[in-house]
Amino acid sequence: MKIVVVGGTGLIGSKLVAKLGEHGHEAVPAAPNTGVNTLTGEGLAEVLAGASVVIDVSNSPSFEDAAVLEFFETSTRNLLAAEAAAGVGHHVAVSVVGTERLPENGYFRAKIAQEKLIEKSSIPFSLVHSTQFFEFVRGIADEATDGTTVRIAPVLFQPIAGDEVAQAVGRVAVGSPLNGRVEIAGPEQYRMDEFFRDALAGWGDPRQVVTDPHARYFGSELSEGTLVPDAGATLGKIRYRDWPGRNAAGK
């Protein structure tokens, strides 16, 4: 089966291409550095020829509110139109657990807009909502840093290993379209402030984690369950403390 992975040279995309290839599929990475640009449409018709499935794990180069909305709306429209012309039978997109709970956040608002375009298209689809990746833990800490302190809200947090995101997305992609969504998350829930306190200590990071109920997560305040899935989510097996990249994440 030919499966085109949009964003296929990035963190999750490259893992997907490798895993799908190991299972005998023709997995083709599509990204600007492979000659495919979803914003301009360049290379889309060529890469989608003969494709059965498209997986979109691309991301905006800018997280500024207007720019990220423009990216997801334009790229998704172009991609869906090219898929319809090519006869693609299954569109899979990766989104974020909690998007609908944080509409004031510009990035989440852009992901909601992307999902609405997918849901209204003629192409059968599956949406995979994931919690935060282990690989992004350092970035979250850096974004929450104020001087020598890291301000984190004491809310629930359930991150997942990137390898298990790729496995879950791959399974969905080779199955029948859901015309709906599934949620995936790591095997353990934490208090977000306690998680980061332990993580920074494990890295030997001198910054102090401060528990702040009003701390902002990429510009938005969080409630207790904003970032964790509902009951019935597919859970990974790799715990953060057992993740091979745990120490490297702090460098």
pLDDT tens figures, 67-90? 999 999 999 999 999 999 999 999
Identify the pLDDT of residue 249. Answer: 67
CB 44 within 8 Å of CB 88: no
Quote the pLDDT of residue 205.
95
- Report how far residue 112's alpha carbon sits from residue 90's, in angstroms, rounded to the nearest whole number: 19
Instruction: State the amino acid at position 176 in one-letter form.
Output: S
Indicate the pairing of strand 125-130 with strand 180-185.
parallel
| Paired residues of 102 in beta bridges | none
Q: How far apart are CA 151 and CA 141, in angstroms?
A: 8
> Rounded to whole angstroms, what are the CA distances from 137 to 131, 145, 233?
11, 13, 21
Beta strands, E only, 82-124: 90-96
Q: What is the DSSP letter of 194?
A: H
Q: Mean pLDDT, to the nearest integer, of 235-245?
A: 95
Q: Which residue has the tokens 């495919």?
A: 36
Query: Residue 35's domain spans which residues?
Result: 2-250
Cα(44)–Cα(41) distance, integer angstroms? 6
Q: Are 86 and 34 in contact (CB under 8 A)?
A: no
Say whether pLDDT at 248 is over 80: no
Average pLDDT in the chain: 96
DSSP string, 33-55: GGT--TTT-TTHHHHHTT-SEEE
With a cut of 90, say whether residue 246 has pLDDT above it.
Answer: no
Residue 57 has pLDDT above 80, yes or no: yes
Sheet with 26-30, side-by-side order of all strands: 26-30, 2-6, 53-56, 90-96, 125-130, 180-185, 234-235
> Which pLDDT score is estimated for 166?
97
Q: In angstroms, how far is CA 183 from the centroid of its own chain?
A: 11
Residue 140 belongs to domain with CATH number? 3.40.50.720
Pairing of strands 190-191, 156-157: antiparallel
Q: 168: closest CA among 182, 152, 149?
A: 182
**Contact indicator for 218, 143 with CB cutoff of 8 Å:** yes
The predicted model gives 119-145 an average pLDDT of: 97
3 state SS of 23 = coil
Q: With a threshold of 0.85, does the pTM exceed it?
A: yes
Mean pLDDT for 224-239 is 96
Range scoring the smallest mean pLDDT among 29-38, 151-160, 242-251: 242-251
Total domains, the chain: 1
Adjacent-strand bridge partners of 181:
127
Q: Residue 219, SS3?
A: coil
